[in-house]
Amino acid sequence: MIDARRLRILRAVADHRTVTAAAAALYLTPSAVSQQLAALEQETGHRLVERGARGARLTAAGEILLSHTNLVLAQLERAEAELADYSAGVAGTVTVAAFATGIGLVLAPALTELARTAPGIRVKVQDAEGDASVPMVLDRQVDVAVAVEYRGAPAEDDRRLTRVPLYSEPFDAVLPVGHRLTDQAQVAVADLAEDPWIGPYPGNPCHDVVVLACEYAGFAPRLDHSSDDFHAVVALAGADAGVALVPRSALRGMALTGVVVRPVEGSAPTRRVFAAVRQGAEGHPLIRPVLDAMEAVAVREAGLAARA
């Protein structure tokens, strides 16, 4: 009999590529992970993981077992959801990891909605960058992720996850008030090729959006200043330190002192936001209302941006 807990450990090793990283994600010691993998190999009669200087990788047998693991764990999530549904009443805690703008735009208003429609559900919020929350869901550190599409993100058909599109939004150009293009109704990214730029650090999904937009316009941006805080990005633009592309929702309610905001000409770079849960958990009576509330808020905010 294969222990489902060991299957979760196998998947964590496949996701994180090292025993040490998998152990950290699962709040276990590396020796405990190694022991559980050894026990799983004994249960299956196959070597499942090979370790080398570059980390750990699954053997062919390990890959076969992993393909079944995703289905088994999803079915277990469904079983938990049905049992929870069977229980009398709906009360409990749901943990959601979301990036700052997503918290302000959809998650915080959803909490207000849930307080009225599902008062027994308590939501705990963790601030996490748009590329960090999905691994937290897969590692069972949180129940729901509010995430952003980024290079290397799990594909839409990834069997480990169920995704709920929330919204998409354009990036706007943020220029110092004295910039040569402030008299234009729209700004072409190509016209900013010679300017110094302000933008997020590499690894932030918005960094990828900005760099790709510039690449499509035929140049590599000269990023003189870096910050993952859009308030800081706008402040630097207001100090005439450079130009920036900023998600439209991040500019809402911000003091735009010293800057001019203009839409991007043509096909604007876009940030696509979605919620994600472990596959099978989307019907859980505690999680489903949270997803529905965020979807409802996203629909109401359709004036900000089109649905993803």
The pLDDT tens digits of the residues spanning 184-234 come to 999 999 999 999 999 999 888 889 899 999 999 999 999 999 999 999 999
* Under 8 Å between Cβ of 262 and 189: no
Confidence of residue 87 (pLDDT cuts 50, 70, 90): low
Q: What is the mean pLDDT of the chain?
A: 89
pLDDT of res. 267? 85
pLDDT of res. 302? 54
Question: Rounded distance, CA 197 to CA 221, Å?
Answer: 6
Question: Rounded distance, CA 158 to CA 168, Å?
Answer: 20
pLDDT tens-digit map of 34-76: 888 888 888 888 888 888 778 888 889 888 888 888 888 888 8
Question: Rounded distance, CA 196 to CA 221, Å?
Answer: 7
* Under 8 Å between Cβ of 259 and 177: yes
Question: Rounded distance, CA 93 to CA 259, Å?
Answer: 42
Q: Which two tokens stand for residue 280?
A: 């099978």
Burial (CB count <10 Å: 0-12, 13-18, 19+), residue 96 = buried
